[in-house]
Structure 1
Amino acid sequence: MYYQLYELNHAALQPYRAYADAVRLFYQNPLNPFSATPLGRSMAAAAEMFERTTRRYGKPEFGLKTAKVDFSEVAVKERVVWSKPFCNLIHFERDLPKGRKPDPKLLIVAPMSGHYATLLRGTVEAMMQHAEVYITDWTDARMVPLAEGRFDLDDYVDYIIEMLHHIGPGTHIMGVCQPSVPVLSAVAVMEGRGDSFAPASMTLMGGPIDTRRNPTAVNILAEEKGIDWFRDNVIMQVPFPNPGFMRDVYPGFLQLSGFMSMNLDRHLIAHKDFFMHLVKDDGDSAEKHRDFYDEYLAVMDLTAEFYLQTVETVFVNHDLPKGQMKHRGELVDLTAVRNVALFTVEGENDDISGLGQTQAAHDLCVNIPDAMRAHYMQPKVGHYGVFNGSRFRAEIVPRIADFMASHGRAKTKPSAGPRLVSSKK
């Protein structure tokens, strides 16, 4: 019922949004003598604030048309190279000079946690300087017809395995936040099967491998409430006329509410500053606010079965670090991981995945040689800074690129690459 009320409220506000947009255009029109006055700019700012805070934000575009490779700009073409109902695999095909030595192939597994894969736009842009980049583009569950069937954590792992098969042997894989658990599970399953398409290396960034270490507010909430509370309170059916009508989902707007409430004071200050930027005609600052919130407020629904299985497996029961996680009824054996190099990255101020939660992968994958593993803690960054921002580009990306270069599958024996490394220069 809540989802229906949310849709009804959105539809009811449509005429008011249209009116607010008209007011904004009226007071921004240069032919209007009030447009250059504080009163006119205040009216336009108030109208824009109302329209932006009541709209539904659609899926953003990556918009990456070029990439810097070898100090030169090259054209980039975005192509869907593999597709299933709940995910597309996007390849950012760079127009590289003929005869140039090929870069390593990198599969970036984007989070399926409410936001679209475009949240990793900066991650893709940075990694395109060093690799042939592919990314998982997860589909909004409310857009997938019920006839397409279920999608749960087991399917997620299978999707990753199928995509690695499609890209080919020697691929490197990166799991950003939530995908760290299914990525590690997929690698363990492939290694256990002796799969030749297992990745050359895996990079896990800010992921909840073992949420018992330095538990954050998110981790504590999951343990306190238990899986039954989530099943009874956050699972809803997609309303008509969406393509996924009657599908059980965890709605994106609920996830967004949780994100916003964690740092509500920051968001209120940001919107107050946005209003003042508009009044003062500070166009650059206002545009930065629009760009960030156009991305941040664009959310997608998750299938109920995937969400509940993830909460129960990762946050309530801690199945992976306890050695109890199963895939299709078979135990996920992390001791089978021997040939895939492991690099973990954490942020000092991460309030989503606490320090040590990602590094725990090293303690679980006991049979990876020391020469094929490394860990890095980035000082002075939160969760978002682990995979985006200036420190990510300057400090983290070069380490990932060096790790991939040191652990290409072409090598016949483990390289003498870095061991666990310090976060200090």
Structure 2
Amino acid sequence: MRYMVAYDMMEAARNTNQWMGASAQALASYPIFSMIPNPALSWMAAWGEVTERSFERMITKPDWGIRTFTERGRDHLVKIETVLEKPFGNLIHFNISGRAERPRKVLLVAPMSGHYATLLRSTVKSLLVDCEVYVTDWHNARDIPVSAGKFDVEDYTLYLVDFIREMGPDSHVIAICQPAPLTLAATAYLAEREPEAQPRTLTLIGGPVDPDATPTEVTDFGRRVTMGQLEAMMVQRVGFKYAGVGRPVYPGLLQLSSFISMNVDRHSQAFVDQITRVARHEASDHDAHNRFYDEYLAVMDMPAEFYLSTVERLFKNREVARNVFTVNGEQVDIGQITSVAVKSVEGANDDISAPGQCIAALDLCTGLPDNMKASHVEPGAGHYGIFAGRSWRDNIRPLVLDFIDRNGSGSPRSASRKAPVHKIAVA
């Protein structure tokens, strides 16, 4: 019960700050005060506007914001369809009305690491041009009733198995960041048990397949604390306000405090600068600051079982890295992957999953011929840039699409024609 109280106290603090921001903005904006101009009131209103927006976004799931697609001067509507619905996450498809189906069928495996799948918005936009795009849309654990049961790394793996099976054998999987080792395990699971359901290619981007290959501050965190300490410090139970009341979670607000603490000076300066811009009427609703922080501050609760089992089994025990990962008591042998082309992508300046952690997947694929393995290290790129920044758009995306084409249309399992790469506007 005390954990529910702690959860509700965090929510109460968030709610109070949102209310204080709204109150300050409303009070400082009374027309009567404009009779005697006072810069302090302008700054008070600006502080209130930025504060209210920031704390409100913490409990709001961002919208994908992908509504139209323009091809050869013709606008198409983009409809987000749920292909497979499950308690902890859905498989969604970005269906472009009136456009012929693209031969490249891509599944983007989004991280379950604090932010919503919408963090991959720009990645989705860039791939919509040439691909049929599907995404794993994970749910906020606070909204999932306790009756739905647990969700740990094995359940996550089996969800991916179901999603890949639903996609069909001519699909291509791209796993970004945290899900890379579990997506590799899910592919191996299918290779051994349902080889006809395997995807055509698997691309792993910036994921900790072997966190000990090149440890970072983030991946080495689990070694500095015991599992008991981690559970005591990080796990709380969802409070009475949400449908998941009583469910043990790693709260999103607690995760956000950790995110911000890593670069507290930079974030503090960003908010001071934004308050200044609002006070000077230089800010807009969709300026660079709001676009970034509307997404960055939107956090979701993570199932406690998933968080704890990730730290213990993937980081502490390195089960995937040592090829001893099990699902329902049966080992998943990554060496069973023999017909799925695998590519790793890393950023040379990645301080979350440093170079070496992701490419370790290729050594684990002992049953895969060398001509079906590929790797790329992007010079000068950080963690975010390898899947959503300029490095992704200019260099990595073309390489990934070329890898998909070489191992899709030219492989024995497919006779489809190589598709061209288009440059088309997506809004």
State the TM-score, normalized to the length of structure 1.
0.90
**Greater length-normalized contact order (CA 8 Å, ≥ 6 residues apart):** 2
2:320 aligned partner? 320
Q: Distance in 2 between matches of 1:231 and 1:167?
A: 36
Q: CA deviation digits over 1:54-95, x for unaligned, max 9? A: 443311110111235568653211111110110111100012
Q: Report 1:20-169 matches (<5 A).
A: 20-25=21-26, 27=28, 33=34, 38-55=39-56, 56-69=58-71, 73-97=75-99, 100=100, 102-169=102-169
Q: Distance in 1 between matches of 2:314 and 2:370?
A: 26
Distance 1:101 1:371, change over 3 A: farther
How many angstroms does 1:347 deviate by? 1.1
Query: 1:10 touches 1:54 (CA, 8 Å); kept in 2?
Result: no
Distance 1:394 1:25, change over 3 A: farther
How many angstroms does 1:17 deviate by? 3.6
1:421 aligned partner? none
How many angstroms does 1:334 deviate by? 1.2
Q: CA deviation digits over 1:131-161, x for unaligned, max 9? A: 1000011111111111111111111111111
2:362 aligned partner? 362
Q: CA deviation digits over 1:335-366, x for unaligned, max 9? A: 11110011111112111111110011111112
How many angstroms does 1:3 deviate by? 5.1
Q: Distance in 2 between matches of 1:35 and 1:351?
A: 51
Query: 2:239 touches 2:245 (CA, 8 Å); kept in 1?
Result: yes
How many angstroms does 1:226 deviate by? 3.0
Query: 1:170 touches 1:409 (CA, 8 Å); kept in 2?
Result: no
Aligned-partner residue type, residue 63 of structure 1? G
Q: Distance in 2 between matches of 1:286 and 1:32?
A: 28
Aligned-partner residue type, residue 69 of structure 2? A
How many angstroms does 1:404 deviate by? 0.9
Number of positions where the alignment pairs a residue of Structure 1 with one of Structure 2: 413
2:343 is paired with a residue whose SS is: strand
Q: Distance in 2 between matches of 1:237 and 1:250?
A: 8
Aligned-partner residue type, residue 177 of structure 1? C
1:280 and 2:280 correspond = yes
Query: 1:251 touches 1:302 (CA, 8 Å); kept in 2?
Result: yes
2:421 aligned partner? none
Q: Distance in 2 between matches of 1:13 and 1:20?
A: 11
How many angstroms does 1:101 deviate by? 6.5
Q: CA deviation digits over 1:204-241, x for unaligned, max 9? A: 01100001111011122211213232123212211213
Query: 1:175 touches 1:203 (CA, 8 Å); kept in 2?
Result: yes
Backbone CA RMSD of aligned residues: 2.5
Distance 1:233 1:283, change over 3 A: closer
Specify every segment of 5 or more residues in structure 2 that has no aligned partner in the other structure, as ranges: 416-427
State the TM-score, normalized to the length of structure 2.
0.89
2:91 is paired with a residue whose SS is: strand
Query: 2:5 touches 2:239 (CA, 8 Å); kept in 1?
Result: yes
Q: CA deviation digits over 1:278-307, x for unaligned, max 9? A: 223222597221121111111111111111
Q: Distance in 1 between matches of 2:72 and 2:374?
A: 26
2:8 aligned partner? 7
How many angstroms does 1:4 deviate by? 2.3
Q: Distance in 2 between matches of 1:371 and 1:272?
A: 52
Q: Distance in 2 between matches of 1:177 and 1:161?
A: 18
Q: Distance in 2 between matches of 1:373 and 1:188?
A: 15
Query: 1:70 touches 1:129 (CA, 8 Å); kept in 2?
Result: no
Specify every segment of 5 or more residues in structure 1 that has no aligned partner in the other structure, as ranges: 416-425
Q: CA deviation digits over 1:237-296, x for unaligned, max 9? A: 112132111111111112111111111121112112212222232225972211211111
Q: Report 1:122-271 matches (<5 A).
A: 122-271=122-271
Query: 1:169 touches 1:196 (CA, 8 Å); kept in 2?
Result: yes
Q: Distance in 2 between matches of 1:197 and 1:35?
A: 72
Aligned-partner residue type, residue 314 of structure 2? V
Q: CA deviation digits over 1:299-348, x for unaligned, max 9? A: 11111111111111111111112122112211121111110011111112
Q: Distance in 1 between matches of 2:32 and 2:163?
A: 55
Q: Distance in 2 between matches of 1:214 and 1:261?
A: 22
Q: Which stretch of structure 1 is more off in the superposition, 127-136 or 189-198?
A: 189-198
1:90 is paired with a residue whose SS is: strand
Q: Which stretch of structure 1 is more off in the superposition, 304-313 or 49-58?
A: 49-58
1:219 is paired with a residue whose SS is: coil
Distance 1:70 1:365, change over 3 A: farther
Q: Distance in 2 between matches of 1:387 and 1:307?
A: 23
Aligned-partner residue type, residue 64 of structure 1? I
1:173 is paired with a residue whose SS is: strand
Q: Distance in 1 between matches of 2:405 and 2:386?
A: 21
- In the TM superposition, structure 1's runs of 4+ consecutive aligned residues that sit over 4 Å from their partners are 12-16, 25-32, 34-40, 68-73
